[in-house]
Amino acid sequence: MKKFNVKVLTNLSKKIRLMVLDMSYRSQVGHLGSAFSIVDILVVLYFSVLEVNPKNPRWSGRDRFILSKGHAANALYAVLAKRGFFPKSWLKTFCQDGGKLGVHAEHTVPGVEWTTGSLGHGLSVGCGIAWGLRLSRRRGESRCFVLLSDAECDEGSIWEAALFAAHHKLDNLIAIIDYNKVQAFGTTEEVLGLEPFASKWKAFGWRVLEVDGHNHQELVACLSTPGQNSKPTVVIAHTVRGKGISFMEHGMKWHYTAPNEREYEEALKELSV
């Protein structure tokens, strides 16, 4: 698989943000902030790290990716379209009556591994997939990546999965946490403090890597690192919700709201620079 350089990845991220902005504006459906915080992670995964085949989305040798924070599906859809899993024209149908794409990731869309939407499911499913991959040795070195939100780590089921993965030494499982430190109705600190976050994962027996979630070079290096023997890996990606549009980088509003015309124009200007 081609490995792109950082400049290419940066430009791709910008394009993806434009596509996501467009989808959100057209449909007047939100979660823009949540989508923007993971765009760089997804671009690095799909253009530099994951072994996938857009012409054969269920190729048995693929790396598996689960977007456990399913409400940011708009970002995933833009990346999958750009990567060639389905026609870009589908993006115009996002949240339209009779459209191909809805708010949350659906496994019937080519390239989407699992339907999510309720938080806290993806890591357990990832554990099952990682375990199954290990049992099916013919699958080679396929890995399973699961992208979680920080708020999702409020769910008990995440910690059940964390215990399981470490106990069973699932070194082909990589969790990525979009640690933007804001959730639906407050900051993570105000609602349910996660700190010391890295220490928690370490205590659960995971290898912990921390990275700037918007630095492509760091992300590539981190996500391409081979698995550590006998430990699952968690990549805590420090991100900013709404990253890429200055006025979207703060406040609760951008978890929920779609831009109006003026905001859309301003966002376009910033992204087109």
Query: What residues make contact with another protein under the rule CB under 8 A?
Result: 107, 114-118, 120-121, 123-133, 135-136, 139, 156-157, 160-161, 163-164, 167
Is the distance from CB of 103 to CB of 28 less than 8 angstroms?
Answer: no
Give me 22's structure tokens: 């467009």
Q: How far is the CB of 67 from another protein (least distance, A)?
A: 14
Considering beta carbons, is residue 48 or 115 the nearer one to another protein?
A: 115
Q: What is the CA radius of gyration of the chain?
A: 18
Q: How far is the CB of 118 from another protein (least distance, A)?
A: 6
Considering beta carbons, is residue 21 or 174 the nearer one to another protein?
A: 174
Considering beta carbons, is residue 167 or 250 the nearer one to another protein?
A: 167
Query: Cβ-count burial of 129 within 10 angstroms (0-12 exposed, 13-18 middle, 19+ buried)?
Result: buried
Question: Positive or negative CA dihedral for 217, 223, 229, 232?
Answer: positive
Considering beta carbons, is residue 111 or 120 the nearer one to another protein?
A: 120
Q: How far is the CB of 264 from another protein (least distance, A)?
A: 33
CB neighbours of residue 141 within 10 Å: 11
Q: How far is the CB of 113 from another protein (least distance, A)?
A: 8
Instruction: Give the integer Cα–Cα distance in Å for 93 and 58.
Output: 24
Residue in the structure block whose two tokens are 């349910």 = 192
Q: How far is the CB of 46 from another protein (least distance, A)?
A: 20
Considering beta carbons, is residue 50 or 78 the nearer one to another protein?
A: 50
